[in-house]
Chain A
Amino acid sequence: MIHGDARMAGIERGPMVTMLVDGGVVVAYEGESVAAALLASGRRTTRATSRTGESRGYFCGMGVCQDCLVTVDERPNARACMTPVRDGLRVHTQRGLGEWGGSR
């Protein structure tokens, strides 16, 4: 985790929304992807792998690599880079293939 907001200064953004990430409130802006909002808030790790449990996060940023998987509204394996934020969205970082039902 890095500190502070990684959003560039000087850009007006759309309406503010909030999502819950592992139970904590994260501020985002309408139109952002979940991955962009997570990175902006300093959260770089989205999941732990099945075999070795190592950390992974946003890599290709265009839906190809399947590394930024998160659980969205109790459903695992959403690509954070391709999922738009929404007010009240519940995001969980996940372990392996994740679990249906939210908690990991």
Chain B
Amino acid sequence: MTSAGCVVVGGGPAGLAAARAAARYGVRVLLVDDNPELGGQYYRRMPAGFGVAGHHAFGRESDEGQALVTEVRALGVEMRLGAVAWGIFDRRIVAIATGDATERVGAETIVLAPGAYDRPVPFPGWTLPGVFTAGGAQNLMKGYGVLPGRRVLVAGSGPLLLVVAHAVMRGGANVVAVCEAAPLAGLWRYAHRLLPHLNFVQRGYRYQQDLRNAGIPFLTGHVIRRALGPAEVTGAVVSPCASDWTPLGGGERTYDVDAVVVGYGFVSSLELGRLAGCEHRWDAGLGGWVPVRNRDMESTVPDVFIAGDGAGTAGAAVALEEGHLAGLAVANRLGRLAGREYSREASRARGRLLHLGGFRRVMDEVFRFGPGLAALADGETTLCRCEEVTHAEALEAVREGATHVNEVKAWTRVGMGRCQGRMCGPALALQVARATSRPIGEVGVFTPRPPARPVPLLALAREIGGEVQ
């Protein structure tokens, strides 16, 4: 078994910042990421050899990300790219699969920076090819310069909608409308709290102006009701919604589109933290489960730290600071960074986090997830995309007495497929809560099992040894 002072899982802003901070003080760091390139989703950039008029010009994030990646590489951080961390055993042993090989690394400390993914919200037609998550559409455009379609509806909630719609428009496709579920009324009430964060506000405002100037309708208080098309997307229907995002009858509009981009914010990837035994809690403000952490980003399991969007989504700026804090704490824990210097460095990062937290809380309030979206799905609507379990099948289990998401899983196979319940878990919790009239936080969360991601049997067989055919 190999060993490392610190295994960092995730090569986005939080993981890179953690690896940098720890490696700077001489910690032997091993960084694991599923992608072939470092940077995560936020720093995703086009491949080498791509460019605009001879320049590798892909915006500020990309430059910032490249600088960080270069620094981390220069510090001699060991990498496992295109590799999945699929289990954590005995608290400190991380199982990593790279292609058809798997290895176990004994880690003195672990930093989990697994990030987040688009909150899946089922509606009729959401499985049709041509329906993209906002993050998926963004990756396609930002990572490869490929458009999701020619005529695109953008729907959901949150600042990313404007970013994606803007990119689609700039990329040369038609955006038929942007549907924002939140009413966005009375935003002036937040003016004084947003004042210290004018740079973020200005960017959002500019995107909205550009869309307006292009004649693209920005429909607040609207949701996508269904995607149309027998085999691939050919259209979409939207309608107004109530303040809790319950779709309302009447006022429906139908658009001919070849792509639908849907983003209702993000949910954290929790499985590795849960496999490590870290305690989690339901956070109504964030609309999801988050790990319990102390101010050093340490989870309830000693020497296991969790940073960035994987601990409640707050964006890249927060992720950088949290990762930095976790990396410093690791260096301190391993005796590489003395208490006084640690305190000084950490309190600087905490100060910056405090500042960023102000903006984060306004965003969480303005775009607070509306549980009324549970009413979008009908009985035939797929809930579990992998195992093809419908809402009617899952709700029948609830009628027969299931009260916890794990019971519905055992009875119907919902959540047992290849994505390991990442896609259906949040949506199932919403449905169980609604059907049993309880808060979402009380219906539980799927228990993850190793392998946390699909791993080839060949890799496991080779690890055991013997002859493999």
Tell me which residues across on chain B come within 8 A of A7, comparing CB atoms.
144-147
Tell me which residues across on chain B come within 8 A of A58, comparing CB atoms.
129, 132, 136, 140
A2-B150, A31-B47, A59-B131 known; A82-B34 Cβ under 8 A: yes
- In the complex, A63 Cα to B149 Cα: how many Å? 20
Q: Is the CB of B117 within 8 A of A64?
A: yes
Q: Is the CB of A84 within 8 A of B129?
A: no
Q: Is the CB of A64 within 8 A of B419?
A: yes
Q: Does B376 contact A (CB under 8 A)?
A: no
Q: Does B431 contact A (CB under 8 A)?
A: no
Name the one of A6, A10, A63 contacting B146, with C-beta atoms under 8 angstroms.
A6
Q: Does B454 contact A (CB under 8 A)?
A: yes
Q: Please classify the interface of chain B as helix (H, G, I), strand (E, B), loop, or mixed, using the class held by over half of its residues.
A: loop
Name the one of A2, A52, A54, A65 contacting B419, with C-beta atoms under 8 angstroms.
A65
Q: Is the CB of A6 within 8 A of B149?
A: yes
A14, closest chain B residue (CB): B49
Q: Please classify the interface of chain A as helix (H, G, I), strand (E, B), loop, or mixed, using the class held by over half of its residues.
A: loop
- In the complex, A58 Cα to B417 Cα: how many Å? 17
A45-B231, A60-B117 known; A2-B149 Cβ under 8 A: yes
- In the complex, A86 Cα to B69 Cα: how many Å? 25
Q: Is the CB of B50 within 8 A of A31?
A: yes
Q: Is the CB of A66 within 8 A of B454?
A: yes
B137, closest chain A residue (CB): A61
A36-B143, A36-B144, A55-B232 known; A11-B135 Cβ under 8 A: no
Please provide the chain A residues from 41 to 65 with a CB less than 8 Å away from any CB of chain B in the complex.
44-46, 49-52, 54-65
B392 to chain A, nearest CB (A): 14
Name the one of A11, A63, A82, A84 contacting B145, with C-beta atoms under 8 angstroms.
A11
A24 to chain B, nearest CB (A): 18
Q: Does B220 contact A (CB under 8 A)?
A: no
Q: Is the CB of A62 within 8 A of B388?
A: no
Q: Is the CB of A63 within 8 A of B231?
A: no
Q: Is the CB of B35 within 8 A of A10?
A: no
Q: Does A23 contact B (CB under 8 A)?
A: no
Name the one of B49, B82, B117 contacting A62, with C-beta atoms under 8 angstroms.
B117
Tell me which residues across on chain A come within 8 A of B249, comparing CB atoms.
none
- In the complex, A11 Cα to B372 Cα: how many Å? 42
- In the complex, A15 Cα to B409 Cα: how many Å? 47
A45-B232, A55-B231, A84-B36 known; A12-B117 Cβ under 8 A: no
Q: Is the CB of A55 within 8 A of B423?
A: no
- In the complex, A49 Cα to B387 Cα: how many Å? 9
- In the complex, A25 Cα to B424 Cα: how many Å? 36
Q: Does B73 contact A (CB under 8 A)?
A: no
B126, closest chain A residue (CB): A59
Q: Is the CB of A36 within 8 A of B423?
A: no
B82 to chain A, nearest CB (A): 8
Q: Does B422 contact A (CB under 8 A)?
A: yes
| 28 A-B contact pairs sorted by A residue (CB < 8 Å) | A1-B232, A2-B149, A6-B146, A7-B146, A8-B172, A11-B46, A12-B50, A13-B49, A14-B49, A29-B47, A29-B50, A31-B46, A31-B50, A32-B146, A36-B140, A40-B144, A46-B129, A58-B132, A59-B136, A60-B117, A60-B135, A61-B139, A62-B117, A62-B135, A65-B385, A66-B386, A66-B418, A67-B385
Question: Which 9 residue pairs are nearest across A and B when measured between Cβ atoms?
Answer: A31-B47, A61-B136, A14-B49, A57-B129, A36-B144, A44-B129, A66-B418, A51-B388, A61-B139
- Known contacts A11-B145, A31-B50, A40-B144; 14 further A-B pairs (Cβ under 8 A): A6-B147, A8-B145, A8-B171, A14-B47, A29-B50, A31-B46, A44-B130, A55-B231, A60-B133, A65-B385, A66-B418, A67-B127, A81-B136, A81-B139
